[in-house]
């Protein structure tokens, strides 16, 4: 059975939903505090998948995800590198995405080339958005509709890059996994793009396609009844695209 480690710390608040989604997808998830890894009570390499879930790690002091990113790079970087070298997925959702970007794990490994900064609206955005699933190198987005809906809940979700050439590299390497769009699947401005991200980017992967980060929450869109319009549409689907994402990750490891 695929073993998933869900990393948590002070301020993490999406670990239970992530654990449930992984369990339903057929994995054996464990919620583990970062201190158990830094103290060597738990070995990261005993697991097949690492997920850093959403929340407000350490109160987002010094910027969203920055403290946890520093803790990982300073204290467990060797384990993280070995984890990636073995081809094991590393997933960051919302605050976890911020951690991966600020911890030099996305979008290019071991380089700080991007950041996630304050939304253009200057406020916390908490609602459902439309996303276009891009033709990326990541294997975790198969069997999904082209347009999906996930909720977002963040204040610092604007994805930016150091320069335009990096965006060109991302797109040529097919490392963009999700973009914010309108219901027709076209890139559009606010409110469809909730934060003003460069090129409407909602998620990216690294050069291998196995390190993945996104601001929207798939664990909050795992069931058909999670969707805000499920009664209006009279949808009969039990599982939704959020569940499909976790299922794809687990099946890849299997």
**Looking at the annotation, which residues are catalytic?**
94, 217, 219
Q: Which of 242, 190, 191, 192 is nearest to 214 (CA)?
A: 242
How far is Cα 147 from Cα 237, in angstroms, rounded to an integer?
A: 16
Which residues, 6+ apart, have CB-to-CB distance to 228 below 8 Å? 128
The DSSP code sequence of 131-174 is EEE---S-GGGTT--SEEEEEEEESS-EEEESSHHHHHHHHHTT
Q: What is the DSSP letter of 192?
A: T
Q: What is the DSSP letter of 41?
A: S
How far is Cα 40 from Cα 56, in angstroms, rounded to an integer?
A: 24
Beta strands in the chain (DSSP E): 3-8, 28-33, 49-52, 90-93, 114-117, 125-133, 147-154, 158-161, 176-181, 201-205, 211-214
């Amino acid at each position: 059975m695929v073993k998933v480690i869900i990393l948590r710390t002070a301020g993490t608040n999406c670990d239970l939903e992530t654990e449930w989604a992984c369990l339903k997808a057929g994995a054996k998830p464990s919620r583990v505090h970062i201190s158990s890894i830094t103290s060597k009570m738990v070995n990261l390499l005993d697991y097949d998948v690492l997920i850093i879930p959403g929340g407000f790690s350490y109160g987002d002091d010094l910027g969203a995800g920055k403290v946890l990113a520093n803790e990982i790079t300073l204290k467990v970087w060797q384990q993280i590198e070995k984890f990636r070298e073995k081809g094991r997925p590393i997933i960051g959702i919302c605050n976890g995405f911020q951690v991966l970007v600020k911890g030099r794990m996305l979008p290019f490994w071991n380089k700080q080339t991007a950041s996630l900064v304050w939304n253009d609206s200057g406020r916390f955005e908490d609602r459902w958005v439309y996303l276009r699933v891009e033709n990326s190198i990541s294997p975790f987005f198969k069997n999904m509709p082209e347009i999906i809906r996930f909720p977002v809940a963040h204040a610092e979700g604007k994805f930016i890059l150091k320069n335009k050439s990096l965006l060109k590299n991302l797109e040529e390497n097919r490392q963009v996994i999700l973009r914010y769009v309108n219901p027709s699947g076209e890139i559009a401005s606010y409110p469809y793009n909730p934060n003003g991200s460069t090129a409407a980017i909602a998620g990216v992967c690294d050069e291998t396609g196995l390190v993945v980060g996104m601001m929207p929450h798939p664990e909050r869109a795992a069931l058909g009844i999670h969707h805000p319009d499920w009664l209006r549409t009279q949808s009969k689907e039990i599982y939704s695209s959020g569940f499909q994402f976790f299922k794809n990750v687990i099946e890849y490891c299997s």
